[in-house]
Chain A
Amino acid sequence: MSKIISARPCSLFGLLLWWAALSLSVQSSPLEAQEAEQDQAVRLFQRLTGQAPTLSELQEMISAIQRGNTDIAALIAIRSDNLGFYKSTLVDAFSRTSNLEAVRPSSLDEYSATVVGLAVQNEDFRDVFRNVIYTAGDEEQTYFYRKNVDTDGDGNGDTLMILPINVDGNPLIRVVDNPGNNDNFLNEDGTPASTPKVRPLLRNRSVTGSDIRFELSNGAHPHYQDLEKVSDWPLRLEKRSQSQMYSYVRSSDRIPADDVIGLLSLPTMGRSAFEAGTNRRGYKMIMSTFMCKEMEEIRDATAPDFRVRRDIVRGDNFQTECRSCHGNMDGMNGAFAFFDYRDGRLQYDANGLNGNPSNNDYANGSNQKKQWRQNNNYLPGHLIKNNSWYNFMTAGQNVTFGWRTPSTGQDIDQGVGARSLGETLANTEQFSNCMAERAYERVCLDSVQIKSEDSDSEKQRKRALLGKLAEIAREYEQGIADYDDFSASSPYNINALFAKVAGTCFGGNQ
């Protein structure tokens, strides 16, 4: 600019042109500025909640944007009474990561409800790896479930009372009939019921109480399907322990607290990870869902291979190709040794790998011994007998995960049981970085994944951006004191992470 000002205009026309250009570039009326701030606030609110703001919310957000606090404006949206951030945005963002197909399930399930529960109750988001599940509160689970079946063999249908139970194992005895009827969510005048009726998560399948199920119906949970009809369902969620819930399911299915690994040991994600196959998908899903890493990105041919199983043929390319994935993968997924998903539900059997392999053990591939399949391919290979695991990613290229010893003192290099693996993963920098990337992609609609076809400048931009997101992730891990007014200042608060990230692309607080 100084160069232009010092230059002598060669003609009147040139001077006029210069003046007009300067005027156009710097002049902007206060009204236009207000419109721009309003547009920014509305867009931010829509991006975070999927809805339009109320007038008071809009005014508060504009005021925050004018002060340069776009992240505070984002928090106003996140905390909106419409609950759109939780009901729509978070569910849409995370539910797609619960399955291999990366599609959003058609209705609410325990995976999304648990993510939302952790967010709305300002819990430590590392709990996605811990012994947690969110369900409706006991008040909402109030059915006697009636089924018309022939129980005495006389050819006539008998009314079978199926008792719902709460997580303490006690029957809930309040009676509401006709489960699933929409009237159970509304008062007679059509207003939402204050105590809507939701089919229980756990129930006795028979009057004798011998078979208590975490019920699935065509792959969906009636409990969560009903809960989704309650307009303020995120506020109805209640935190429970997975191991407590499962302790009332059939004894062969019990998952002890030491083997619970958060969302992965819940039915929705468990189905994707542990149905058929060899349980290696558990590792793949953890890496893609919680670490934002695909298998190709974490290959490392220097990883030790003593845990690579017998089914992997040691051919000419084993050392350069097979080992680069299986070294790390087979080391880690020993933690999932006792899981299986069959007959429509997640099952667990701590004794399923006793004895030695026989031909029949791995032939059907439909029990824990599916992990002994193709046992004869390489007999010196590792044979899974227990749920111990090794983490070889603390050396080599994957040291960039930022492995940190958890406060529990868990050894990050090896352990026993899925819980200890979950705690190790939850405390990595990469988990926080990944959540920041997910928030960025969701709120800013811009990808940070570096692709081979990207130009050099685009790769440089993404690398710099990943660096910035990593800085935000470190703040999120510590907790952001400025967000105290919104109850979002605690460490690992996912609301704070979304707000901080929104502040980067919607301008204001850089």
Chain B
Amino acid sequence: MKISKTKYLKFLPLVLGVILFALQACSTTGVSGRIDNQDNNGDSALAEVKQELGVKSSFQIFDSMSAIVGPQVTLRSNRVRDYFNQKRASLPDSNNITVFGASQINAIHNLAWEFCDRMMDDSVPRDEFFAGTEFSSSRSLNTSAKRESMASLMAERSCGPQVVETDDRIAMRESLHELIDTLQAQGQNDDNVIRGICTAAISSACVTQF
């Protein structure tokens, strides 16, 4: 069976997205604490406070992705919002990560693809996204340094800056870099490669989990 280039373009970022998702999900755990508290009888009791790991709801995911790619993407076209409204039921409805399933990861990935594809289709949000970077005009990925730079940019735009660089972030950058290499080896042009790594980055756990 022959798999088309376009299928690769969507499939590979999905695989990477899942890897990034697992990588970051496993590195963070719920945090608990205890608060000394007095009950009505004046007796001391312990209120164990939990701070569970959660997954964002459908609207929160939409808002987060929209903030990353910029408001122009949804303002200048209804395409992504229409897609979201059609597929909302397949995205997480609550923040409860214990009912978060594989099909929802796939739906998140597809929504990310819509955002990235739309951003790359329209010069206004695209130029705004890359403003101030060396990719602002050419978006060329013809050297290893540029590929590394693109991977760093996507990681930072998606997950935010860091004061102390963590192993997770280094691993994410390396994975995105590898994805660029893989997609280029498939013969994808640079814009399509960017679509792919954008999809992987904005569907990763640092965007969709909290």
Contacts and interface: CB of A to CB of B under 8 A. Distances in A.
Interface of A: 31, 34-35, 38-40, 42-43, 45-47, 50-55, 58-59, 62, 82, 84, 87-89, 91-92, 104, 106, 182, 185-186, 189-190, 192, 229, 231, 444-446, 460-461, 463-465, 467-468, 471, 504-507, 510
A190 B56 CA distance: 29
A186 B75 contact: yes
A231 B33 contact: no
20 contacts: A47-B54, A51-B63, A51-B64, A51-B67, A52-B206, A54-B161, A58-B161, A58-B163, A59-B163, A92-B60, A106-B88, A190-B72, A190-B76, A190-B124, A444-B51, A445-B53, A446-B49, A464-B47, A468-B49, A507-B33
A171 to B, nearest CB: 28
A499 to B, nearest CB: 15
B160 A38 contact: no
Interface in B158-179: 158-164, 166
B79 to A, nearest CB: 11
B59 A92 contact: yes
Contacts of A51: 63-64, 67-68, 160
B210 A52 contact: no
Interface of B: 28, 31, 33, 35-40, 45-54, 56-57, 59-60, 63-64, 67-68, 71-72, 74-78, 85, 88, 95-96, 124-125, 128, 158-164, 166, 206, 210
B51 A445 contact: yes
B63 A50 contact: yes
B40 to A, nearest CB: 8
Nearest to B159: A52
A455 to B, nearest CB: 13
A62 B63 contact: no
A3 B38 CA distance: 30
Contacts of A47: 54, 210
Given A62-B163, A510-B33, A505 B51 contact: yes
B67 A467 contact: no
Contacts of A189: 124
Contacts of B49: 444, 446, 465, 468, 504-505
B180 to A, nearest CB: 22
A182 B164 CA distance: 41
A50 B64 contact: yes
Nearest to B63: A88
A89 B95 CA distance: 12
A465 B77 CA distance: 46
Given A92-B60, A104-B59, A506-B31, A34 B163 contact: yes
B28 A467 contact: no
A493 B63 CA distance: 25
B45 A467 contact: yes
Nearest first, the 9 closest Cβ-Cβ pairs linking A and B are A52-B160, A464-B47, A190-B124, A505-B51, A46-B210, A464-B45, A446-B50, A88-B63, A55-B161
B37 A43 contact: no
B144 to A, nearest CB: 26
Contacts, number: 146
B59 A39 contact: no
A59 B71 CA distance: 26
Contacts of B38: 467
Nearest to A465: B47
B162 A38 contact: yes
B164 A82 contact: no
Given A42-B160, A53-B160, A87 B63 contact: yes
Given A47-B54, A182-B76, 10 more contacts: A35-B164, A50-B56, A52-B158, A52-B160, A182-B78, A190-B128, A446-B50, A464-B37, A465-B48, A506-B31
Given A192-B71, A445-B51, A504-B35, A38 B76 contact: no
A92 B92 CA distance: 13
A504 B32 CA distance: 10
B28 A39 contact: yes
A460 B64 CA distance: 37
A185 B71 CA distance: 11
Nearest to B56: A50
Contacts of B162: 38, 58
A485 to B, nearest CB: 22
A43 B210 contact: yes
Contacts of A91: 59
Q: Which of B60, B71, B166 has the most CB of A within 10 A?
A: B60
B100 to A, nearest CB: 12
Contacts of A50: 56, 60, 63-64, 67, 210
B33 A38 contact: no
Nearest to B162: A38
Nearest to B157: A52
A467 B41 CA distance: 12
Given A55-B161, A186-B75, A505-B50, A43 B63 contact: no
Contacts of B164: 31, 34-35, 38
B51 A506 contact: yes
Nearest to B36: A510
A49 to B, nearest CB: 9
Contacts of B50: 444-446, 505
Contacts of B59: 88, 91-92, 104
A506 B161 CA distance: 20
A47 B164 CA distance: 20
B166 A186 contact: no
A464 B49 CA distance: 10
Contacts of B60: 50, 88-89, 92
Contacts of B63: 50-51, 84, 87-88
Nearest to B125: A190
A504 B74 CA distance: 36
A84 B71 CA distance: 13
Contact of A444 (B52, B75, B85): B52
Contact of B28 (A43, A52, A53, A106): A43
B122 to A, nearest CB: 9
Contacts of A186: 72, 75-76
A84 B67 contact: yes
Q: Which of B63, B158, B166 has the most CB of A within 10 A?
A: B63
B192 to A, nearest CB: 23
